[in-house]
Amino acid sequence: MEIVVALLMFVNFEIKEHRIQPSMAQCLRGKREAERTYSDTVQYKCIKTQAEVKTNKDGSQYNYKNYSGLNG
């Protein structure tokens, strides 16, 4: 387990997608960009959390186990 920053996408109050980000600043930047396409049912949130991560073939990381939020 390691501490990661993740950008979460909620659709109708349910997590539909998540992306691990290199930093909170980059996460907030991505959140602002995503929110420019406004939708009533889609919300974004950056969190700092503990997660078990794995690495894709392209080197990007993804969440393997559920989040346990630390703050955010």
pLDDT digits (tens, 9 = 90+) for 10-22: 999 899 988 889 9
pLDDT at 33: 94
pLDDT tens digits, 24-63: 999 999 999 999 987 888 999 999 988 877 777 887 766 6
Domain ranges of the chain: 2-71
Given a cut of 90, whether residue 68 has pLDDT beyond it is no
Q: Tell me, what's the pLDDT at 39?
A: 85
Please name which of 69, 9, 6, 20 lies closest in space to residue 44, comparing C-alpha atoms: 9
pTM of the model: 0.76
Beta bridge partners of 71: 48
How many helices (H) and strands (E) the chain has is answered by 1, 6
Q: What is the pLDDT of residue 71?
A: 47
N-to-C CA span, the chain: 18
